């Protein structure tokens, strides 16, 4: 029996979810949490982190010399398979890292070994359940239905599969076996929309060519 394709978010849904996580126009305390939650969403959507990896992140994973890193080095101490992997930082993720640094970390002491995501004490990180609840709540607000953090990782993987080879996707996700990566070969909603758009473009182009030929005959 073939495995079911993983549930993912299309491009519009990703933007809407991140907007709901960000809470930009909320009161200051809520907006500050929104900056934190937005960064967590970006780490899963743009770097494919598992929720268990997100909560283990320390300041030194994301910042170097008071600036966001250009590549995330996920050390063996936080990865699921205990193997280090490196993921380049996207433009959107870099912006989220900068905003978070300004709002959360400028006043922190002993930052190098501090956990990145916390409530009031940076020696006690958020739990995976707390992050799951943040994503679930944002999903309810954005789409009227709950979603889970792994759906964001699935989305990252599916986006990668459209632009690179399966071996690169495997490495960026930190999969030990290629069979774990193969599930992302299934087309998702963005793939279907692109297929129809390409078809319409081809039909429109064919129609124009026929009109041009008719003009030559007249």
Instruction: Point out the residues that are catalytic.
Output: 50, 80, 150, 153, 175, 184
Q: Give the pairing type, strands 63-64 and 67-68.
A: antiparallel
Q: What's the CA angle centered on 77, arms 132 and 114, to 5 degrees?
A: 70
Distance CA 117, CA 39 (A): 10
Q: Are 54 and 150 in contact (CB under 8 A)?
A: no
- Which value, in Å, is the radius of gyration of the alpha carbons in the chain? 21
Distance CA 55, CA 40 (A): 9
Token representation of residue 87: 């993921």
Question: What residue ranges in 65-194 does DSSP mark as E strands?
Answer: 67-68, 71-74, 85-88
Distance CA 90, CA 21 (A): 18
Distance CA 123, CA 59 (A): 11
Instruction: Return the axis-axis angle of helices 149-161 and 28-47, rounded to nearest 10°.
Output: 40
């Amino acid at each position: 029996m073939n495995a079911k394709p993983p549930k993912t978010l299309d491009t519009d849904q990703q933007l809407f979810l991140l907007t709901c996580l960000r809470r930009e126009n909320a009161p200051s305390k809520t907006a500050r949490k929104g900056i934190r939650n937005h960064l967590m969403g970006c780490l899963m959507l743009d770097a494919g982190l598992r929720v268990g990896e997100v909560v283990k992140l320390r300041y030194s994973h994301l910042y170097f010399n008071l600036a966001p890193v250009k590549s995330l080095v996920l050390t063996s101490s936080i990865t699921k398979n205990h193997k280090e992997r490196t993921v380049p930082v996207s433009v959107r993720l870099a912006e989220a890292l900068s905003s978070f640094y300004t709002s959360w970390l400028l006043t922190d002491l002993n930052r190098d070994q501090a956990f990145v995501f916390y409530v009031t004490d940076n020696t006690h990180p958020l739990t995976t359940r707390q992050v799951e609840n943040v994503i679930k709540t944002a999903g309810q607000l954005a789409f009227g239905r709950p979603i889970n953090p792994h759906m964001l990782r699935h989305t990252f993987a599916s986006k990668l599969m459209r632009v690179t080879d399966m071996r690169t996707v495997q490495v960026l996700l930190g999969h030990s076996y290629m069979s774990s990566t193969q599930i992302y070969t299934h087309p998702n909603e963005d793939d279907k929309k692109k297929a129809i758009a390409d078809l319409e473009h081809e039909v429109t182009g064919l129609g124009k060519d026929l009109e041009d030929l008719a003009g030559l005959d007249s």
